[in-house]
């Protein structure tokens, strides 16, 4: 590819003139207009320019084709520490309770700050359940199922359905059609209906920070989306969630009224979904990340080159148990959250050329980046 062609592609990408790329059966579909064709990797200057254009510290080199996922896994720590796991539970319960206390005492003009704290703390509750689903919370699997189910109840998430679909996402990260967490909108889909086009524009535009709500409804409450051997566990999780709603919501309304239900549950829940939608979009979409068809998909490349490390303000990372350290989590979902930073350092040491980091939000102008990236949902 000539330099003039590269320059033109950079200009087109920076002007964001294309949002959708048509899919062909054997071609890679990109999240935005700028392609990530392997032949670009021979130009360090090109990749440096591209990284700077989209607010990244660097974009890693493509992973060599002879490297397997096992090669990467062998370099990572995975040991479960029960003391650290229960300390995380204590920290999360305390921070969430503190958020509810702030909501109860804050004047109306400080409520948004209290809701932001509590919604972020609720994301920490989710991460505890997330560890349980990946079998990284305890060596006792019954304890994991109980803690995971309880953690998901305030979020109205059925634990087992979410676990089944999340495991599928990890097994097929960035695979076209198959990935359950995120996939690009295809051109023919966008053009198929004026109503659908409007829905996509609004849903992936101003409503994008809450698109995980749509994902929550679509993927976790439909028996047709599960295999026969999963149905029983799905129904048990549903019973737990509906039981919480039938008992918990009336109790909140009885004690604090409808406005109390909005203040103490709904607004923090929306804050949680803001975090989920934003985190997932940032972790799994970027201008240079390809989504590949199943016949072209490579597990090692998808997990190491297809996910992004993000830096957030320290209080968010603490409340959310370092879930922003996302590359090692996709390389091995068996890494407990308290080992993610150590695993990330190991990846940088052993695979630094092919891993890539994003600048901290304060440095990388995230609003600009969000406008440039093809939006996604959790």
Q: What is the mean pLDDT of the chain?
A: 79
Lowest mean pLDDT: which of 43-47, 133-137, 310-314? 43-47
What pairs with residue 175 in β-bridges? 292
pLDDT band at 9 (very low <50, low <70, confident <90, very high): very low
Q: pLDDT tens digits for 74-115?
A: 666 668 899 999 999 999 999 999 999 999 999 999 999 999
Q: Rounded to an integer, what distance in angstroms lies between the CA atom of residue 343 and that of residue 279?
A: 19
Strand ranges (E), 60-150? none
Q: Is the dihedral of CA 48, 54, 55, 59 positive or negative?
A: negative
CB 254 within 8 A of CB 104: no
Tokens of 50: 């591209």
Please provide the DSSP assignment of 236-260 as one string.
Answer: HHHHHHHHHHHHHHHHHHHHHHHHH
Tokens of 87: 């300390």
pLDDT at 373 over 50: no
Residue 165: exposure state from Cβ atoms within 10 A (0-12, 13-18, ≥19): middle
Q: Rounded to an integer, what distance in angstroms lies between the CA atom of residue 160 and that of residue 233?
A: 6
- Report which of residues 21 and 37 the model is more confident about: 37
Q: Rounded to an integer, what distance in angstroms lies between the CA atom of residue 168 and that of residue 226?
A: 11
pLDDT of residue 34: 42
pLDDT of residue 22: 37
pLDDT at 134 over 90: yes
pLDDT of residue 16: 40
Question: In the Cβ-directed half-sphere of 139, how many Cα atoms lie within 13 Å?
Answer: 7
Helical axes 3-15 vs 44-53, angle rounded to 10°:
10
- Report which of residues 165 and 182 the model is more confident about: 165
Report the C-alpha dihedral over residues 299, 303, 305, 308, rounded to 10 degrees. 160
pLDDT at 228 over 70: yes
């Amino acid at each position: 590819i000539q330099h003039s062609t590269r320059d033109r592609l950079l200009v087109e990408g920076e002007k964001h003139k294309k949002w959708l790329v048509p899919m062909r059966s054997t071609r890679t579909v990109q999240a935005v207009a700028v392609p990530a064709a392997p032949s670009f990797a021979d130009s360090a200057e090109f990749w440096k320019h591209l990284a700077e254009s989209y607010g990244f510290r660097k974009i890693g080199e493509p992973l060599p084709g002879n490297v397997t996922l096992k090669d990467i896994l062998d370099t990572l720590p995975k040991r479960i520490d029960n003391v650290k796991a229960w300390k995380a539970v204590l920290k999360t319960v305390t921070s969430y309770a503190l958020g509810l206390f702030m909501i109860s005492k804050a004047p109306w003009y400080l409520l948004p700050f209290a809701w932001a704290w509590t919604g972020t703390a609720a994301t920490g509750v989710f991460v505890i359940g997330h560890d349980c689903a990946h079998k990284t919370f305890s060596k006792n699997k019954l304890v994991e199922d109980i803690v995971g189910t309880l953690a998901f109840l305030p979020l109205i998430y059925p634990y087992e359905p979410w676990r089944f679909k999340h495991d599928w996402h990890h097994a097929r990260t960035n695979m076209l059609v198959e990935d359950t967490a995120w996939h690009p909108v295809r051109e023919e889909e966008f053009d198929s209906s004026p109503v659908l086009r409007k829905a996509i524009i609004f849903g992936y535009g101003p409503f994008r920070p809450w698109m995980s709500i749509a994902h929550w409804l679509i993927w976790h409450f439909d028996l047709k989306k599960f295999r026969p051997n999963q149905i029983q566990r799905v129904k048990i999780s549903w019973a737990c969630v509906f039981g919480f709603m039938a008992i918990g919501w009336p109790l909140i309304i009885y004690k604090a009224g409808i406005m109390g239900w909005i203040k103490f549950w709904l607004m923090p829940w929306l804050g949680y979904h803001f975090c989920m939608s934003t985190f997932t979009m940032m972790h799994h979409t970027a201008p240079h990340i390809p989504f590949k068809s199943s016949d072209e998909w490579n597990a090692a490349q998808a997990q190491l080159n297809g996910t992004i490390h993000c830096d957030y303000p320290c209080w968010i990372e603490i409340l959310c148990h370092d879930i922003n350290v996302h590359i090692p989590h996709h390389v091995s979902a068996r890494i407990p959250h308290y080992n993610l930073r150590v695993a990330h350092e190991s990846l940088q040491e052993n695979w630094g050329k092919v891993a890539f980091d994003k600048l901290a939000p304060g440095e990388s102008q995230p609003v600009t980046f969000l406008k440039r990236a093809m939006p996604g949902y959790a």
